Amino acid sequence: MIAIDDDISDLIARIADRDRHAFAALHEKTSRRLRGVVQRLLVDSAQAEEVVQEVYLEIWLNAPAFSRDRATAVGWMYMIARRRAIDRIRASQASRNRDARAARAAVTLLDDDFGDALDTRIAHARAMDALDTLTPLQREAVVLVYCRQFSAAEAAAALRVAPGVVRSRARDGIHRLRTVLTAAS
């Protein structure tokens, strides 16, 4: 094993000098084992292949930083492979978590929108039923003043009555609506 590691260390030293033949030789000697390490962590073959490519790119870029004093060549390569595989796992998990949060938020928004629409329809139906309990004169005054937002003077002119009469009918109508709607709750 020591002879193999010395051979790989020599290849990495040559790679640090940008020797492409050394890089090809390193890949030939180590790719099956590195792919096995990554494959065990990731399970997905396509992702494992991508990560192995990233590992060899990192080896090419960081070969000048490799030190035989700090790690064996094989250990250094396995450390890069393991770190890259774990990074991929974390990124995949973060993506799944983001997608799940977005899906939950979308469902919640749909539920909220549906619930709000249903509440509005129920409230509207109750209000329309309550309006039916008013006298025709009260209903006219309430609709003009509260629904169409006429002033008392404008409603009085439309109904050809005094503004005080409109206020009185609207007040009595609102009191009746409040009573009916409170009883229905």
- Contact partners, residue 169, CB within 8 Å, separation at least 6: 137, 138, 140, 141, 142
pLDDT at 126: 83
What does the pLDDT read at residue 54? Answer: 94
Output the CA torsion sign for 78, 84, 85, 90: positive
- pLDDT for residue 173: 87
Which one is predicted more confidently, 184 or 13? 13
One-letter amino acid for residue 7 of the chain = D
Tokens of 124: 């509207």
Predicted pLDDT at 1:
47
Res. 111: pLDDT tops 80 = no
Residue 106 confidence (pLDDT) above 70: no
Q: CB under 8 Å, gap of 24 or more: what pairs does 88-97 form?
A: 88/42, 88/47, 88/50, 88/51, 89/41, 89/42, 92/47
Q: Among residues of the chain, what percentage have pLDDT more than 90?
A: 42
pTM: 0.54
Per-residue DSSP letters for the chain? Answer: -HHHHHHHHHHHHHHHTT-HHHHHHHHHHHHHHHHHHHHHHH--HHHHHHHHHHHHHHHHHHGGG--TTT--HHHHHHHHHHHHHHHHHHHHHHHHHHHHHHHHHHHHHHHHHHHHHHHHHHHHHHHHHHHTTS-HHHHHHHIIIIIS---HHHHHHHHTS-HHHHHHHHHHHHHHHHHHHHHH-
pLDDT, residue 56, reads 96
Tens of pLDDT, residue by residue over 140-175, are 888 888 888 888 888 899 889 998 998 999 899 888
Domains of the chain in start order, with CATH, are 2-99 (1.10.1740.10), 133-184 (1.10.10.10)
pLDDT category of residue 15 using cuts at 50, 70 and 90: very high
Q: 23-75: per-residue pLDDT in tens?
A: 999 999 999 999 999 999 988 888 899 999 999 999 999 999 998 888 899 99
Give the closest residue to 64 by CA, choosing from 51, 52, 79, 76: 76
The answer to whether residue 138 scores a pLDDT higher than 50 is: yes
Encoding tokens for residue 29? 């000697």
Proportion of the chain above pLDDT 70, given as a percent: 89
